[in-house]
Amino acid sequence: MGDVGIYNAYMTLSGAYDADVTRDERMARRTTCRIGGPAALFCHAHSLQALRKVLAVLAHEHVEWVILGKGSNILVSDGGYDGCVIELGREFSRISFGDDGIVTVGAAVPLSRLVRETLSHELAGLEFCIGIPGTLGGAVSMNAGTRRDWISRCIESVVTCDLHGMLHRLSADEVAWGYRTTSIDPASVILEATLRLRGGTKRDISARMNALIAHRQRTQPVGRPSCGSVFRNPAEGSAASLVEGCGLSGAREGAAQVSERHANFIINTGGATADDVIRLMTRMHDAVMDTYGTDLTPEVKFLGFGA
């Protein structure tokens, strides 16, 4: 891959039906931590036809690609990404309510919208998603949730598109679901998921949501730019308590700071770079390893950092 491949892909996709393509899109505008250099290509694919076209062109030109939702849980390098960032658009932003608590949700639907609409239909089961940034597709790909609840518990099936544009429907029991992981092929694109929720009352559902919102506001740096939890919780204890136990709450590297409210969050205090975050993550990891012998695994995904 190189500049020629990027140029050829851009010229071909610029005329693609139902796709919007730009060059050198600053990823700091597209990520919740407000960090990241430019993506060589940025493409909105608004339909399955457009997505198939995009994937075919990128494969032909040997251009790497990645799917982006709302830009949470991702750290893009300061040098950017020498590939194509794909964002799913209109056709993948639909929610359809069926009988018996069945809800079909497009991968591009923000979790915040999904939670609101299931509440309006008096369907319970997704309260734990309140306040979790990102889209349904991203939530499925990493089995998002809390210590007690995760989205795989609600999933009936998932529809994906492979590199050849073929669609596959996977029942929930065909997927191995783990803590922040799934066995869904990372080279495929999650298009939609069918969920099964249970009936409830707006009063009860709202009460659970409000309690979770209040808890998040007390314990997390809500409203501050961050990429969410930077490390997965170990089998015993929590990453936040380990980092805090090392005396690193409030620690800084450049404009990146370990949150004093939740030590597994790194906040951008203004103008932080990806290098700042990496240095701070390294300090956190090494301190926990030296103090507790626990090898923390990053939960945040890295883009544009090379092999």
Beta bridge partners of 38: 26
% of the chain with per-residue pLDDT over 70: 99
Q: What is the pLDDT of residue 189?
A: 97
pTM: 0.92
Quote the pLDDT of residue 307. Answer: 55
Question: How far apart are alpha carbons 301 and 307 in whole angstroms?
Answer: 13
- Candidates 3.30.43.10, 3.40.190.170, 3.30.565.10, 3.40.50.2000; correct CATH number of 1-91? 3.30.43.10
Read off the pLDDT of each residue in 285-290 and give the average, rounded to a whole number. Answer: 98
Give me the residue label for tokens 């608590």: 101
By annotation, the residues acting in catalysis are 180, 229, 299
For the chain, list the strands marked E by DSSP: 19-26, 38-45, 65-67, 74-76, 81-88, 95-97, 102-106, 123-124, 155-161, 167-171, 177-178, 181-182, 189-196, 198-199, 226-229, 252-253, 256-258, 265-268, 301-303
Torsions phi, psi of 268, nearest 5? -90, 105
Which pLDDT tens digit goes with each residue over 151-184?
999 999 999 999 999 999 999 999 999 988 999 9
pLDDT per position as a tens digit, 59-104: 999 999 999 998 999 999 999 999 999 999 999 999 999 999 999 9
Closest by CA to 232, choosing from 123, 133, 152, 144, is: 144
Which sequence spans correspond to the domains of the chain? 1-91, 94-205, 224-298
Q: State the Cα–Cα distance between residues 88 and 160, nearest whole angstrom.
A: 13
What's the pLDDT at 1?
Answer: 46
pLDDT of residue 237: 85
What ranges make up the beta strands (E) of 17-101?
19-26, 38-45, 65-67, 74-76, 81-88, 95-97
Question: Residue 251 pLDDT > 70, yes or no?
Answer: yes
| Summary mean pLDDT of the chain | 94
Question: Which CATH architecture does the domain made up of 94-205 adopt?
Answer: 2-Layer Sandwich (3.30)
**Vertex 243, ends 289 and 142: CA angle to 5°?**
90
Q: How many CA atoms lie within 13 A of 260 on its CB side?
A: 4
| Per-residue pLDDT tens digits for 197-224 | 999 999 999 999 999 999 999 999 988 9
Select from 1.10.10.60, 3.40.710.10, 3.30.1490.190, 3.90.78.10 the CATH code of 224-298: 3.90.78.10
How far apart are alpha carbons 89 and 165 in whole angstroms? 17
Domain 224-298 in the same topology as domain 94-205 = no
